[in-house]
């Protein structure tokens, strides 16, 4: 049995390593993400994570465990993905300034024909940002590959006033939920050394 991460995100890879997983394979899903505007943010990230897992399952072994995730930021019902350019990133940050928004991650764990999909939602409050601060943050280059145009694990931590929920979800992988799901698939990470799984 192999564990396959269907993502090239260095943050997701780092979080799997922090969970004690080693020797997992990174096999990013390459297919085009089909985003249905009629879905809620929770439904959208679940659908996208299922798509990624299904794509990787086509070439994976029947015993391989696939982990797929997708993350978006939402505010006022509007989904904010990764910005296409600096102007869009600036607009996103201005919209989030001095407001509470939600970070949704969809998570799918799949083995053969068995697949379980869940989502996690974390509430994040930004402090009030000046135009100068937004421009300074954009100059770091960090916003351009992040949903909602910020990364809480980097310079973006200085923008976040508070969070309610799973911190790691904001990084793109709800670690607590993933640990629970992996256990359902026979991958138990917290067990006594030399002990038997229960």
Beta carbons within 8 Å of 47's beta carbon, 6+ residues apart: 34, 36, 39, 106
- The answer to whether 125 touches 99, Cβ cutoff 8 Å, is yes
> Judging by DSSP bridges, how do beta strands 25-26 and 160-164 pair with one another?
unpaired
- Please, what's the b/e burial string for 135-146 (b: 16 or more CB within 10 A of its CB; e: otherwise)? eebbeeebbeeb
Confidence band of 33 (pLDDT split at 50, 70, 90)? low
Range of the domain at 33: 3-184
Confidence band of 194 (pLDDT split at 50, 70, 90)? low
Q: 85 catalytic, yes or no?
A: no
CATH number at residue 57: 3.90.950.10
Say what the pTM is.
0.89
168 inside domain: yes
Active-site entry in 36, 70, 76, 139: 70
For residue 11, give both structure tokens. 């943050």
40 inside domain: yes
193 inside domain: no
189 inside domain: no
DSSP string, 170-185: HHT--HHHHHHHHHHT
196 inside domain: no
Split into its structural domains, the chain has a count of 1
198 inside domain: no
pLDDT in tens, 117-168: 999 999 999 999 999 999 999 999 999 989 899 999 999 999 999 999 999 9
63 inside domain: yes
Distance CA 147, CA 103 (A): 9
């Amino acid at each position: 049995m192999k564990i396959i991460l269907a993502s090239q995100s260095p943050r997701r890879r780092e979080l799997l390593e922090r969970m004690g997983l080693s020797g997992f394979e990174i096999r990013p899903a390459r297919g085009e993400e089909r985003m249905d505007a009629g879905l809620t943010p929770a439904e959208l990230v679940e659908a996208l994570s299922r798509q990624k897992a299904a794509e990787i399952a086509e070439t994976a072994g029947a015993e391989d465990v696939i982990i797929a995730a997708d993350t978006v930021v939402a505010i006022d019902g509007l989904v904010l993905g990764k910005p296409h350019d600096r102007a869009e990133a600036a607009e996103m940050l201005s919209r989030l300034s001095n407001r509470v928004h939600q970070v949704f991650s969809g998570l799918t764990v799949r083995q053969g024909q068995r697949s379980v999909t869940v989502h996690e939602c974390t509430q994040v409050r930004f402090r009030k940002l000046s135009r100068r601060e937004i421009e300074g943050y954009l100059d770091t280059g960090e916003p351009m590959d992040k949903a909602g145009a910020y990364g809480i694990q980097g310079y973006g931590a200085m923008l976040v006033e508070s969070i309610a929920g799973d911190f790691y979800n904001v990084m793109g992988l709800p670690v607590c939920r993933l640990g629970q799901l992996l256990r359902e698939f026979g991958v138990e990470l917290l067990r006594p050394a030399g002990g038997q799984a229960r």
